[in-house]
Chains A and B, each alone.
Chain A
Amino acid sequence: MNAWRWTMIPRAPLLRRALFLIAFIGLTGPVVIRAWADDDEDRALTAQREARQQREAAECRQRLVRLDLDATQARRLLPIVEQAAQLQIEMYEQQAQFLPELLSAFTAFADEDRLNQGFSKDVERRAAQLSHRESEARDKVNAQLITLEQETAHILTPSQLDSLQAPHGATRLAPAQTKSNGPRRPAADVDRLPALRQELEAIHALKHPRSGPLARCLFHPAAIEPLCQTAGRPPSETLRRALDVAARGTAEYPLEPVERQRAEVGRLRKEINNWNLINGLHLDGRQTDRIVALYDAATPPTARQGKASARPAGTMLASLERAVEDVLNPGQRQVLADYKACLIPPKNLKDPVRVGQASDHSPYEQWLEKARRQTGARLERAIGEVLTREAQHNGALTDPEKQQRATALRVAARKAAALPDSEFELSKAVLAERIAATDRPKELQKELDAIVRSRGQPGRLAQFILNPDFIEQLRQRGEQLAAGVQPRPADLASGPQAENCDKSCALPPKKTPRQK
């Protein structure tokens, strides 16, 4: 009875009531606040998704209007669209199933990246494998969508195709021509920018195929209803399901949590890319503080509160870029110029060649090592493999170019074979350097950067460093550097022990197999 009285608020005296309320708020407050915060986050995500869907749907409908399909065309298109819808449903389910694993792998990877003490093998392997699997699955679906897109292109008339941009694969992008080494005129540079970008995109598309505007229009869920109306047919079961998945997800994988996970994976990817660059630049405390201070000075305090707008723009950004560039040393500027955003940091940043390290052979040195022992068909196969790898990285070569490259490789392999082992060992770095293919994307990127900079526009530094997320992470790194590291006490006894001479130094005669 007493207990009952104690807990019953109306019967308790005022003080008890107050205490009870404080305890109640104390216990439930954080949960409620977190729920509100989560709710806000969810709502923001939902709003973002809806806005994106609406924008895409509007674009898709506009394109459909421009296409002006007739009923026959729509009827012929529907089975293809249905196949694409089936693919998209499968991809959604596959991704949804995969995302939690990816999220946990990326979280572990980002945690280690933040510490800048290298990666444990398991964490690195898991993140790399999962990321690779994800991108492979996406590429596979995209390749299938491209095939379907090409089928749709056959149904449309040339004028309809012209009304959109050319579909992927329908016309081959002309590679940007390399200019002579003569002085560049600004007007030519301006003309050259789109060509450079186009070639870079085309090279990128070789590795990661992307469907074109026709697919983005016809295979979008927003196209289903108008297409069915034009064809005079109701949407099939698959198409209805595709609409459902786009709006709500599946019963097993509802859309909202999947979207949340997808956004988190995207955020982690960005965070990891930023850490990779911060770790690779090895900015010291003074440089870190200076860059953060320059950024803060260029950004009004009010803008800093709302992240999206917290980035200086235009000439302000360009002058900030120059100021930040002065903080970096030539080595750091070189790293930045060569930097490619990637989940696993590039080798030169992750694992630079160490003092006294014996094994640092380039891939071409390794190739020469093998190729000098091969002749005839085996050598030709080895040359073919190099050409394939280079084409994947640099874009396809024309037949005469291919032959020229194969001859160069063949000559180098024969020259290497003719050298005695010891002389080859000393010459292989030079030989490898001579046959190494130029890194076309890197060359294009450098040219593009030079043009952009010559026009006083913000360049790579602004792109990678001068954004609120990077600066926030840099601020964290500054704090880490200032705090220093408290070394743990050495525990030499528990770890592995070196072999020593305490008992005897002499190594017994090595036994031959017969003696054993």
Chain B
Amino acid sequence: MSTHRASFGTPPISRRDFLAAAGRCATTSCLAGALGPLVTPAHGAQPPPWVREIDYYNQLPEQKIQCFVCPLHCVLKDGETCFCRTRTNVGGKLFTRAYNNPCILRIDPVEKLPLNHFRPGSKTVTIGVGGCNVRCIYCQNWEQSQKMPDELKTFALTPDDAVAYARKQKIDTIAFSYTEPVAFLEYAKDIATAAKKARLHVVVATAAFVDPDPLIEFAKYVDAFVVSLKGFDEDFYHRVCGVKLAPVLRAVETVKKRTGSWLELLHLIVPTYNDDPAKIQQLVAWVHEHVGDDVPLHFARFVPMYKLTDLPRTPVQTLEAACAAARQAGLRYVYTSNIAPHEGNNTFCASCRAAVIQRLGFKIMEDRLHDGACAKCHQRLPGVWK
């Protein structure tokens, strides 16, 4: 006598069928468990789009690779990723994970880079991709920079899309900022190439921890660089940023002397970490000697962030003292950032000291610059004004 139990829409199943189905499930599970690691990509559930090979690397024996984009020169075994979190050795070839997948897309004033001598008042389509080859413990965008690109919410954006969007928004500058463009150099370079073809401007905010060759190649497509010079001390760079100062200084000099790009420098003053007046004097003296007195230098206020939340903000007096030291060293265009309104937000004519551009943070309040010259004394100011 067969008995049927109440079923909710599912047909009854015999013991034989049940055991057969269970067996099939078990076999599939075992096979998946055993073969899974072989077929599952090693970097996460979704395989990254291996669409762009890196230009600067050497193949070593046993499928090892040495990357030559930044001075770390990471040596990678198969499957390993560079310190920047974006370049992975895939079977003896180096590919980027940071391509067509920005996590930040914004329209910003160019002053937010900060660039005060490059087409003031203009807007940029700013792009940032996850990852960074520097490990600043006070990074303000650490949620993006300290992750792999494929660990973040991203947008699908090819280089051509980026240019098309910029044109659609009637914006003629593309900027790479927020995270480190060196970490997504290949993507940035391809966008910059497309942008140049479309006669757009390209600007870059970077920590400049990069090897000279990739930098010079990239700079061919870049109109302006803002280099964040984080300190003037190897110990500071090592303990606070996890990298070295010397390659950064070399990169700054390279931009100034071997490329035609406009250059501005940014120095964020962190209380008790890099606010020693003697160090600041060394920094401004170096800038004066190696890149010249016409390079604008921005001293930015620190705000507690990431791993440095126990510090106070930089006192305004410290920023003002740094500006005074820079001017005394002969630098002609010195700014304060991250405090607004402040006299240090404004551009002054180096000749007659008139305020030629008055700003409230990134917003221009008054512009008395005519074709890059002071309206009062007609002295030309260095920069890209059109």
A residues adjacent to B (C-beta < 8 A): 115-118, 121, 281-282, 284-285, 287, 329-332, 334-335, 351-359, 420-423, 425-427, 429-430, 480-481, 484-485, 487-493, 495-501, 505-512, 514-515
User: What does the 1/0 interface line of B119-134 toward A look like (CB < 8 Å)?
Assistant: 0000001001000000
> Which residues in window 350-381 of B have CB below 8 A to A?
355, 358-362, 365-366
Residue with the greatest number of chain A CB neighbours at <10 A, chosen from B77, B135, B342 = B342
Looking at the assembled complex, report how far the CB atom of B262 sits from the nearest CB atom of chain A, in whole angstroms.
Answer: 16
Assess whether A496 is in contact with B308, with CB atoms less than 8 Å apart: yes
Residues from chain A with a CB closer than 8 A to the CB of B216 are none
Q: A421-B156, A498-B136 in contact; A356/B141 too (CB < 8 A)? A: yes
Assess whether B312 is in contact with A115, with CB atoms less than 8 Å apart: yes
Q: How distant is the Cα of A282 from the Cα of B304 in the complex, in angstroms?
A: 19
Q: Flag whether B57 is at the interface (Cβ < 8 A).
A: no
Q: A426-B105, A506-B81, A514-B36 in contact; A353/B345 too (CB < 8 A)? A: no
Number of A-B contacts (CB under 8 A): 221
Looking at the assembled complex, report how far the CB atom of A490 sits from the nearest CB atom of chain B, in whole angstroms.
Answer: 6
Give 15 A-B contacts (CB < 8 Å), ordered by A residue.
A121-B309, A331-B358, A421-B156, A422-B105, A422-B156, A489-B272, A490-B236, A493-B239, A501-B74, A506-B75, A506-B77, A510-B42, A510-B81, A511-B42, A514-B33
> Which residues in window 328-355 of B have CB below 8 A to A?
337-343, 345-346, 355
Residues from chain B with a CB closer than 8 A to the CB of A420 are 156
Question: Smallest CB-CB separation from B73: which chain A residue?
Answer: A505
Residues from chain A with a CB closer than 8 A to the CB of B72 are 501, 505
> Which residues in window 264-320 of B have CB below 8 A to A?
266, 271-277, 298, 300-301, 303-304, 307-309, 312-318, 320
Q: A331-B358, A506-B75, A514-B36 in contact; A357/B141 too (CB < 8 A)? A: yes
Looking at the assembled complex, report how far the CB atom of A409 sits from the nearest CB atom of chain B, in whole angstroms.
Answer: 22
Stretch at the interface among B15-23, B107-115, B183-191: B107-115
Since A331-B358, A358-B141 are in contact, a sample of 18 more A-B pairs with Cβ atoms closer than 8 Å, ordered by chain A residue number, is A118-B304, A329-B343, A331-B345, A334-B341, A353-B361, A355-B114, A422-B155, A423-B168, A426-B107, A427-B169, A487-B318, A497-B137, A499-B242, A506-B74, A506-B81, A506-B82, A507-B85, A514-B40
Q: Flag whether B182 is at the interface (Cβ < 8 A).
A: no
Residues from chain A with a CB closer than 8 A to the CB of B384 are none
Looking at the assembled complex, report how far the CB atom of A431 sits from the nearest CB atom of chain B, in whole angstroms.
Answer: 12
Q: Flag whether B68 is at the interface (Cβ < 8 A).
A: no
Q: How distant is the Cα of A487 from the Cα of B270 in the complex, in angstroms?
A: 11
Q: A330-B366, A498-B242, A509-B80 in contact; A492/B135 too (CB < 8 A)? A: no
Residue of B79, B161, B300, B338 near A422 (CB, 8 A) is B161
Q: How distant is the Cα of A287 from the Cα of B320 in the complex, in angstroms?
A: 13
Q: How distant is the Cα of A514 from the Cα of B41 in the complex, in angstroms?
A: 11
Q: Flag whether B165 is at the interface (Cβ < 8 A).
A: yes
Residues from chain B with a CB closer than 8 A to the CB of A427 are 169
Assess whether B80 is in contact with A355, with CB atoms less than 8 Å apart: no
Question: Smallest CB-CB separation from B237: which chain A residue?
Answer: A498
Looking at the assembled complex, report how far the CB atom of B162 sits from the nearest CB atom of chain A, in whole angstroms.
Answer: 9
Looking at the assembled complex, report how far the CB atom of A332 sits from the nearest CB atom of chain B, in whole angstroms.
Answer: 5
Assess whether A496 is in contact with B137, with CB atoms less than 8 Å apart: yes
Q: How distant is the Cα of A256 from the Cα of B67 in the complex, in angstroms?
A: 75
Residues from chain B with a CB closer than 8 A to the CB of A499 are 135, 242
Assess whether B104 is in contact with A358, with CB atoms less than 8 Å apart: yes
Residues from chain B with a CB closer than 8 A to the CB of A115 are 312, 315
Chain B interface bracket (under 10, 10 to 19, 20 to 34, 35 or more): 35 or more
Q: How distant is the Cα of A499 from the Cα of B84 in the complex, in angstroms?
A: 12
Assess whether A484 is in contact with B107, with CB atoms less than 8 Å apart: no
Q: How distant is the Cα of A514 from the Cα of B80 in the complex, in angstroms?
A: 18
Q: How distant is the Cα of A422 from the Cα of B238 in the complex, in angstroms?
A: 37
Residue of B105, B107, B178, B315 near A485 (CB, 8 A) is B315
Q: How distant is the Cα of A92 from the Cα of B155 in the complex, in angstroms?
A: 57
Question: Smallest CB-CB separation from B323: which chain A residue?
Answer: A284
Residue of A284, A357, A358, A497 near B320 (CB, 8 A) is A284
Q: How distant is the Cα of A113 from the Cα of B351 in the complex, in angstroms?
A: 38
> Which residues in window 223-268 of B have CB below 8 A to A?
235-236, 238-243, 266
Residues from chain B with a CB closer than 8 A to the CB of A359 are 141
Residue of B74, B135, B165 near A500 (CB, 8 A) is B135
Assess whether A358 is in contact with B144, with CB atoms less than 8 Å apart: yes
Q: Flag whether B197 is at the interface (Cβ < 8 A).
A: no
Residue of A118, A281, A422, A489 near B165 (CB, 8 A) is A422
Q: How distant is the Cα of A444 from the Cα of B273 in the complex, in angstroms?
A: 47
Residues from chain A with a CB closer than 8 A to the CB of B317 are 480-481, 484-485
Residue with the greatest number of chain B CB neighbours at <10 A, chosen from A331, A357, A359 = A331
Q: A355-B266, A356-B140 in contact; A284/B165 too (CB < 8 A)? A: no
Assess whether B298 is in contact with A509, with CB atoms less than 8 Å apart: no
Q: How distant is the Cα of A426 from the Cα of B148 in the complex, in angstroms?
A: 22
User: What does the 1/0 interface line of B140-181 toward A look like (CB < 8 Å)?
Assistant: 110010001000000111000100010011000000011000
Q: Flag whether B83 is at the interface (Cβ < 8 A).
A: yes
Q: How distant is the Cα of A287 from the Cα of B341 in the complex, in angstroms?
A: 13
Residues from chain A with a CB closer than 8 A to the CB of B42 are 509-512
Q: Flag whether B321 is at the interface (Cβ < 8 A).
A: yes
Q: A329-B346, A426-B106, A487-B275 in contact; A514/B341 too (CB < 8 A)? A: no
Q: How distant is the Cα of A329 from the Cα of B343 in the complex, in angstroms?
A: 8
Residue of A118, A334, A353, A507 near B83 (CB, 8 A) is A507
Q: How distant is the Cα of A509 from the Cα of B309 in the complex, in angstroms?
A: 31
Question: Smallest CB-CB separation from A497: which chain B residue?
Answer: B239
Q: Flag whether B202 is at the interface (Cβ < 8 A).
A: no
Q: Flag whether B45 is at the interface (Cβ < 8 A).
A: yes
Q: Flag whether B208 is at the interface (Cβ < 8 A).
A: no
Residue of B156, B236, B361 near A492 (CB, 8 A) is B236
Question: Smallest CB-CB separation from B360: which chain A residue?
Answer: A331
Q: Flag whether B43 is at the interface (Cβ < 8 A).
A: yes
Question: Smallest CB-CB separation from A285: which chain B residue?
Answer: B320
Residues from chain A with a CB closer than 8 A to the CB of B341 are 281-282, 329, 331-332, 334-335
Question: Smallest CB-CB separation from B270: which chain A residue?
Answer: A490
Residues from chain B with a CB closer than 8 A to the CB of A358 are 104, 106, 128, 140-141, 144, 178
Q: Flag whether B215 is at the interface (Cβ < 8 A).
A: no
Question: Smallest CB-CB separation from A510: which chain B residue?
Answer: B43
Across the A-B interface, give the 6 residue pairs with the lowest CB-CB distance, nearest first.
A331-B341, A331-B360, A498-B242, A117-B312, A330-B365, A505-B74
Residues from chain B with a CB closer than 8 A to the CB of A430 are 107
Looking at the assembled complex, report how far the CB atom of B180 sits from the nearest CB atom of chain A, in whole angstroms.
Answer: 11
Assess whether A490 is in contact with B360, with CB atoms less than 8 Å apart: no
Q: How distant is the Cα of A330 from the Cα of B156 in the complex, in angstroms?
A: 41
Assess whether B161 is in contact with A118, with CB atoms less than 8 Å apart: no
